[in-house]
Chain A
Amino acid sequence: MNALDYVVLFGTLLGIAAYGMWRTCGRKDLRDYLSGGGQSGWLLIGLSVMATQASAVTFLSTPGQGYQDGLGFVQNYFGTPFALIIIAVFFLPVYRRLNVYTAYEYLGQRFDTKTRLLGAALFLVQRGLGAGLTIYAPAIVLSTIFGWPLNATIICSGLVVVAYTVAGGSDAVSLTQKYQLGIIFAGMILAFVLLVMKLPAGLSLGDALTLAGGFHKLQAVDFSPSLHVRYTFWSGLFGGTFLMLSYFGTDQSQVQRYIRGASLRESRLGLMFNAVWKIPMQFFILLLGVLLFVFYQFEQPPVFFNQAAWKNQPTGSAQTAEAEFATAHAEERRQLNAWLAARRAGDQSSEKAAFALAATAHTRVEVVRDSVKTQLGKESGTPANDNDYIFITFILDYLPHGVIGLLTAAFFAAALNSKAAELNSLASTTVVDFYRHLLNREASDVHCVRAAQGFTAFWGLFAIAVAIFANLSENLVQAANILGSLFYGVPLGIFLLAFFVKPVGGTAVFWAAVVAEVVILFLYGVRHLIPALDISYLWYNLIGCAACMLFSLVIQAALGPAPKTPATPATP
């Protein structure tokens, strides 16, 4: 990074944050502060929902996922359109009719206080930890690459988002998200165009796709019924629907983004915007990763993309691995150039033969990389993962100054816009479902706004603390989804019971939810001990939801008929 990059980076981030604070500070009305002014149109809602979900992990880590495993991860999002339609039809009208601040208020009205608090508490635990991951993800990668101190990076970026979220509340979140998303899209499209331009002369986009397909990077859809394959059409469709239904329908960080649109229509259209564009957006980011893979078949990459970790290795073994890697990669390049020449000449038999030899050389390249990953992961017991460093390494090594600053700004912007929404929702839930509901029911709006600002700051500092102590062996984007899947199924079960199953009461739902959550955590905890239970994490959403619903029915049958009237009045 040079001076130009730093000007672009800090100018962009601080400019958007300052603009957000200037436009929105001084909110005194609680509803305005927590939910916005209620004037948002469908595009702002749609962008805000998209920005909240698409954190830095999405843009930093997903291209690495595409590089390593191809397009298969796109199936993770196949449930999104179905989930968003269900929310638009059933959840949204109820939330708007009840005029609630948080989704958990509805549980209090439908069931009782303890079920409302359980739903809110599950959200606070999951989202509080998730907020730490949101800020940790870009900080670990960017501090490693640029040599910045990790903790200082976490603290500085965390404090920027705390400042404007505390000052302006929900409106500040939505307003800044719009501009931050613009920076992100501009940066990603620019990176894609520059990457395509940097592919070897004579290699068309069709050739690049043929090459990627030959290395099994374009297997976007897998219809196999196996529960053990992480990403299949079925796990994406069913597990993904439950994951997205829970995330978009019951996670306050999302509910807060669409619940206060200018009208039901605007909120619905905002959701449908995401139902249509989520899959192509993820496809585009994964395709960027696949093209990075193609690019690095003709340009020698580092043996391990996290160079800072690799440089700590003993010199002798590192030199041996690098020499083996360079030899194998040179052979692969030679064969791929022969393949390309044969392809241009229309010599199909030579083309096939050269590609087979290139594939053999590629296997040797991967063997060296695997041994390096195993060697680096010896201490943790699992192979080290460098997927998160692939895209940023390309940006630094091959893109011009100015663009480097823009893309770094895009990663931080993505982190800030997700974290801002998370902090805003954590503060809302803490104030509405705990503070105002349990401790201070007569509190004025002005008092509650001050309390919400205090809780926003508290959760911001909590997330910073989690980020400082985080240590992940998983690829970042997967870690975020795994954490979500552990806690999303059960709340979804509670909400589905609330919406659709009349004979079940709060006590049965509460205990069923507690038992179901224990079952999910148990399944995750023993997955390495019992191979049959080592299933794709997407299924936890479905299992948690189904277990919660089933246990509720059984417990209710044991308890007898549920009381007919709601036990808890709405929060004043």
Chain B
Amino acid sequence: MIPITPNPEASATPAPESESTGPPGLRTWGAVYGLVLVTFLIWVGLLTVLSGIFS
């Protein structure tokens, strides 16, 4: 990532950032993204099975 000087207004009104991801059991953002990708794979798998069964 290329560093960019923040807009001065940004430091005047900092956004409240949180370390916690929110969803229970998913402590890191990597885990959240991993869950999203697993969900995607499940959907593709189910759609492939659907295509196969009813073709």
A465 close to chain B: CB less than 8 A? no
Q: How far is the CA of A89 from the CA of B40 in the complex (A)?
A: 18
Chain B minimum-CB-distance residue to A212: B54
Chain A-chain B contacts (Cβ-Cβ < 8 Å), number = 112
Known: A85-B37, A109-B5. A272 touches B18 (CB 8 A): no
Other-chain contact of B15, A42, A110, A212, A263 (Cβ < 8 Å): A263
CB neighbours of B21 from chain A (8 A): 265, 268-269
| Interface stretch (choices A98-106, A249-257, A423-431) | A98-106
| Shortest Cβ gap from B15 to chain A (Å) | 6
A566 close to chain B: CB less than 8 A? yes
| Contact of B15 with A96 in the complex, beta carbons under 8 Å | yes
| Contact of A210 with B2 in the complex, beta carbons under 8 Å | no
B15-55 residues with Cβ-Cβ distance < 8 A to A are 15-18, 20-23, 29, 32-33, 36-37, 39-40, 43-44, 47-48, 50-51, 53-55
| Contact of B7 with A100 in the complex, beta carbons under 8 Å | yes
| Contact of A98 with B6 in the complex, beta carbons under 8 Å | yes
- Chain A residue total in the interface (Cβ 8 A): 52
CB neighbours of A502 from chain B (8 A): 2
| Contact of A220 with B51 in the complex, beta carbons under 8 Å | yes
- Chain B residue total in the interface (Cβ 8 A): 34
Q: How far is the CA of A99 from the CA of B13 in the complex (A)?
A: 9
Chain B minimum-CB-distance residue to A565: B5
Other-chain contact of A566, B4, B43, B51, B53 (Cβ < 8 Å): B4
CB neighbours of A97 from chain B (8 A): 6, 10
Q: How far is the CA of A210 from the CA of B55 in the complex (A)?
A: 8
| Contact of A110 with B4 in the complex, beta carbons under 8 Å | yes
Other-chain contact of B18, A89, A263, A275 (Cβ < 8 Å): A263
A326 close to chain B: CB less than 8 A? no
CB neighbours of A546 from chain B (8 A): none
A-B contact pairs, 20 of them (CB 8 A): A78-B40, A81-B39, A85-B37, A94-B1, A98-B4, A99-B6, A100-B7, A110-B4, A210-B54, A213-B55, A214-B54, A218-B55, A263-B17, A265-B21, A268-B21, A268-B29, A280-B43, A283-B47, A502-B2, A570-B9
